[in-house]
Amino acid sequence: MTRPDRWAWPVRGLLWVDIAWAIFAIANLVGMLVFATWETVPFHFIWVSLTILYGFRVWRLKPTLWLLGAIIVMTAAILIVDIARGTQPIDELTEVPLMSAMFLAMVWHARRRLVATEAMRHVSDENLRLLERERRFIQNASHELRTPITVAIGHAELLQRANDPATMAADARVVLEELMRLRRLSERLLLLAAAEHPDFLHKRPIEVEPVLVEVLHRWSPTQRQWRLGATDEAVVEADADRLALAIDALVENAVKHTTPEDWIELSVRRNDAVEITVADSGAGIPPEELEHIFERFGRSEASRQSDREGLGLGLSIVKTIAEAHGGRLRMRSQLGKGSAFEIVLAEAKG
């Protein structure tokens, strides 16, 4: 990535060096006029000093070309005056294009080096960002895995010492719940890990409305005010199982942030693309937390406080599945008035 070229002169510190060189160059131009018989010395001073300075400064391209053009014109004009006076042979004039060509070659190499250096810096910064992201992921995964393991071990120990059948049954139920939580967590981690694999999706044309109806059927035992909103006829090229999993994750997220008195609505609309929406009238999400909820193990503060079962992977999975289909995940939320998540996919051709 190169810095953008602008007409303005690049003011990037050490401006006094540029000013000092300009004074030096003007002095040598005057020397070429005053001392015509040895004008090649100040002539070469100008070009050599320009080359050295550019090697350290690497000005932007347009100011460099303007400066190069000015030096070519001024040195050539003085040489022409000296040739007209008879103080210099005409072949001295060939040094102007020769020196400018050599300078241009150095400019080309310097800018190639600059591009390569900034590309390497960009890659390095990106790698550091990914390493930090993976470090946080491992920390969060370790924490999420440790919690159900610790709870399950504790209740297993109680189960081992218990004699009362009712107590044993309660502890066994907790152990089972925590093991099921571990299984859900491991399945979601494996899904995220498999997202980069070329066989992650098995796409075919599918109608969206039946998928929404099936999801509503699965979730209907949960006490919420369920709604099926607009259902435009829409066919997408998608993996039916992965798409259903993504919609399930959105519904699960809506359930976590609503009460039995709230409504949850599923809909599909055809605009420029197919928009599959899961909306609710729940608590909503604070604005300062919106940018983090799609991160792996990213959960709102309210979710962390009220929902021990949450894994913080649902929205990350939805985003991964949507992007794997070439689509995207959008959301809007208002604190206290609910949220709406949209999976946006291209409509199947033909």
The domain limits of the chain are 1-194, 204-345
Q: Is 82 in contact with 88 (CB distance < 8 Å)?
A: yes
Q: How far is CA 139 from CA 48, 143, 179, in A?
A: 56, 6, 20
**Is 184 exposed, middle or buried (CB count within 10 Å of its CB: 0-12, 13-18, 19+)?**
middle
Q: Rounded to whole angstroms, how far apart are CA atoms 108 and 182? A: 58
Segment (H or E) for 267: strand 263-270
Give the distance from CA 167 to its chain's centroid.
Answer: 51
Q: Residue 78: what pLDDT? A: 81
Strands 263-270 and 225-231: parallel
Q: Residue 1: what pLDDT? A: 41
Q: Is 265 in contact with 230 (CB distance < 8 Å)?
A: no
- Residues 90-145 have pLDDT tens digits of 877 888 888 888 888 878 877 788 788 888 888 888 888 777 766 766 665 665 66
Q: Residue 139: what pLDDT? A: 61
Q: Residue 157: what pLDDT? A: 81
Q: What is the 3-state secondary structure (H, E, C) of 294-339?
A: CCCCCCCHHHHHHCCCCCCCHHHHHHHHHHHCCCEEEEEEECCCEE
Nearest alpha carbon to residue 279 among 326, 225, 240: 225
Q: What are residue 333's DSSP bridge partners?
A: 339
In a 3-state reduction of DSSP, which class is residue 88? coil
Which are the contacts of 18, defined by CB distance < 8 A and separation ≥ 6?
9, 53, 57
Q: What are phi and psi of 279, to 5 degrees?
A: -120, 155
Q: Is 99 in contact with 50 (CB distance < 8 Å)?
A: no
Q: Residue 12: what pLDDT? A: 55
**Is 302 exposed, middle or buried (CB count within 10 Å of its CB: 0-12, 13-18, 19+)?**
middle
Nearest alpha carbon to residue 310 among 319, 300, 320: 300
Which residues of the chain, if any, have pLDDT below 70?
1-14, 39, 55, 133-134, 136-145, 147, 291-292, 294-312, 350
Q: Residue 133: what pLDDT? A: 67
What is the CATH code for 204-345? 3.30.565.10
Q: Work out the mean pLDDT of the chain and round it to a whole number.
A: 80
Q: Residue 294: what pLDDT? A: 66
Q: How far is CA 63 from CA 58, 116, 219, in A?
A: 10, 21, 65
